[in-house]
């Protein structure tokens, strides 16, 4: 009887909101479990790393993974979208071809990693040199074996995708925490991270291929679309890491450690937008274009209200939560966190419209214009404001860029 009552309430609320609320709750139930696990694992690993490593070492850790994030562009991240879109339309062979294509192209990133390591070796920083060399050997597999996520999401197997993602982050967190606890050595932490991540991705990829009952249908244009989409996204993906590079190189690794904690805490409300965009992607991919745009855009104000409430609560709690979790040496992260909630709020429509609508409808031309304009604007603002105002300038640049991103995304999704 209780179940019937809840079902009736869900249907009435969904009718009032004008959405299939049952579908969103069923889909997001699994995704929420995964995101909850990721949240807890991310917090646990960051707290342990921040407490057991020096500010300098924790800043270097974040710097290394910012460089890896840029080099991952060589592995053609746009193929994730192509795989998800193809899976939603029953073209399973795109999953296999996409994985092989990513593996081949990621060799460029591995070579670049070797080059970065050589640069630091020649400049007398043996720790960073060894760290980048260690990353280079596993980079092609690390950057290519996670294609099972978009494949399963495209098939609407959010349950499997969520369980795999949860298992991945639990295993990875245990490995990183154990490595830092036993060694207090950044190099061994990096090695543990890369080795564990690659092993888990390979295992889940193998299981998905063996048990997924893949059909023989293919879409010859899908991989080409993924490559085009990577070119479209390249500047934007680099811009996501550029702030940390600037801080690490210009202001120092200790400042980067403080900023990284603020970015992580302030970015938590993005989980809501990302979950919804992943959920609506398969539906939007097969809907009529005009209806898809209208349906999504009319729901965004409700999402904005939710994100504003979450960010407001986060801003009020951060002065107490951050020192408690990370110790008083990271008190400077509090103000940065509160200010970084602003671009999170302003960027919420862009997350939904980019991931859930424009990518799902394969609007390559619109995505190219959007990424080019927003990314170039953000890079220019980051450089200009960071040099003059430091971290506060970087936050201002992010505020302006996210506002432009949402406004232009709204204009293009019509």
Q: Which of 14, 199, 230, 239 is nearest to 109 (CA)?
A: 230
Cite the DSSP H helix spans in 74-185: 78-88, 93-122, 126-142, 148-154, 158-183
Those residues with Cβ within 8 angstroms of residue 340's Cβ, 6 or more apart along the chain or in another chain: 262, 263, 266, 267, 395, 398
d(CA 112, CA 327): 36
HSE at residue 61, side-chain half, CA atoms within 13 A, is 30
b (16+ CB within 10 A) / e for 251-265: bebbbbbbbbbbbbb
Residue-level pLDDT at 413: 67
Distance of alpha carbon 274 from alpha carbon 151, whole angstroms = 17
> In terms of Cα–Cα distance, which of 404, 339, 352, 342 is closest to 378?
404
Q: Do 19 and 148 form a contact (C-beta atoms < 8 A)?
A: no
- Measured distance CA(344)–CA(113) in Å, rounded: 31
Q: Are 154 and 79 in contact, with CB atoms under 8 Å apart? A: no
Residue 322, CA atoms < 13 Å, CB-side half-sphere? 26
Residue 285 contacts residue 350 (beta carbons within 8 Å): no
Question: Is pTM, for the whole model, over 0.75?
Answer: yes
What's the pLDDT at 28?
A: 65
* Dist. CA 40–CA 49, nearest whole Å: 14
Tell me the average confidence (pLDDT) per consecutive run of 10 residues in the chain, 414 residues long: 58 56 63 82 94 95 95 93 88 91 96 96 95 96 94 86 93 97 96 97 94 84 88 82 90 94 87 58 50 64 81 93 92 95 88 66 70 86 88 94 87 72
Asked whether the beta carbons of 200 and 41 are under 8 A apart, the reply is: no
| Domain residue extents for the chain | 40-220, 244-414
Say what the pLDDT of residue 12 is.
Answer: 65
Nearest 5°: CA angle at 259, between 321 and 373?
A: 125
What's 402's DSSP letter? Answer: H
Q: For residues 167 and 204, what is the distance between their CA atoms, to the nearest angstrom? A: 10
Rounded Cα–Cα distance for residues 88 and 327 (Å): 46
* pLDDT of 17: 47
b/e for 207-218, b at 16 or more Cβ within 10 A?
ebbeebeeeeeb
CB 343 within 8 A of CB 270: no
Q: How far apart are the first and last CA of the chain?
A: 44
Integer Cα distance of 375 and 35 in angstroms: 27
Alpha carbon distances (Å) from 173 to 30, 168, 178, 227, 405: 20, 9, 8, 32, 33
Quick check: helix, strand or coil at residue 288?
coil
Q: Are 45 and 168 in contact (CB under 8 A)?
A: no
Tell me how crowded residue 406 is: count the other CB atoms within 10 A of its CB: 23
| Phi, then psi, of 388 in degrees rounded to 5 | -95, -40
Could you give the CA distance from residue 89 to residue 236 in angstroms, rounded to a whole number?
Answer: 27
- Any idea of the CA torsion for 111, 114, 115, 118, to the nearest 10 degrees? -160
Which residues, other chains included, contact 93 with Cβ-Cβ below 8 Å and sequence gap of 6+? 214, 215, 216, 217, 218, 219
């Amino acid at each position: 009887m209780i179940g019937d009552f809840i079902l009736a309430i869900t249907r009435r609320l969904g009718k009032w909101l004008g959405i299939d609320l049952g579908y969103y709750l069923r889909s997001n139930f699994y995704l929420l479990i995964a995101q909850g696990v990721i949240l807890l694992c991310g917090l646990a690993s960051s707290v342990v790393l921040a407490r057991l490593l020096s500010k300098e070492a924790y800043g270097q850790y974040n710097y290394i993974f910012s460089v890896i994030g840029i080099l991952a562009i060589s592995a053609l991240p746009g193929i994730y979208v192509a795989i998800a879109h193809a899976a939603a339309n029953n073209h399973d062979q795109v999953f296999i071809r996409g994985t092989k294509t990513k593996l081949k192209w990621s060799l460029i990133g591995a070579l670049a990693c070797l080059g970065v390591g050589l640069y630091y070796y020649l400049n007398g920083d043996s720790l960073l040199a060894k760290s980048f060399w260690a990353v280079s050997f596993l980079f092609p597999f690390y950057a290519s074996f996670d294609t099972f996520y978009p494949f399963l999401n495209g098939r609407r197997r959010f349950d499997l995708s969520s369980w795999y993602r949860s298992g991945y982050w639990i295993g990875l967190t245990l490995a990183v925490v154990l490595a830092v606890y036993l060694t207090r050595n950044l190099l061994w932490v990096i090695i543990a991270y890369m080795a564990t991540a690659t092993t888990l991705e390979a295992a889940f990829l193998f299981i998905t291929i063996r048990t997924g009952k893949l059909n023989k249908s293919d879409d010859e244009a899908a991989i080409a679309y993924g490559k085009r989409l990577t070119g479209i996204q390249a500047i934007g993906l680099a811009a996501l890491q550029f702030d940390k590079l600037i801080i690490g190189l210009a202001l120092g690794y200790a400042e980067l450690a403080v900023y990284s904690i603020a970015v992580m805490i302030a970015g938590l409300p993005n989980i809501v937008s990302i979950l919804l965009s992943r959920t609506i992607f398969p539906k939007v991919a097969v809907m009529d274009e005009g209806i898809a745009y209208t349906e999504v855009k009319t729901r965004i104000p409700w999402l904005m209200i939710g994100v504003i409430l979450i960010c407001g609560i986060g801003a009020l709690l951060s002065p107490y939560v951050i020192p408690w979790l990370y110790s008083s040496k990271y008190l400077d992260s509090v103000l940065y966190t509160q200010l970084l909630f602003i671009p999170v709020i302003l960027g919420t429509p862009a997350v939904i419209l980019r991931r859930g609508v424009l990518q799902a409808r394969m609007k390559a031309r619109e995505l190219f214009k959007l990424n080019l304009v927003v990314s170039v604007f953000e890079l220019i603002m980051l450089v200009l404001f960071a040099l003059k105002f430091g971290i506060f300038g970087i936050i201002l640049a992010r505020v302006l860029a996210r506002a432009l991103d949402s406004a232009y995304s709204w204009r293009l999704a019509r």
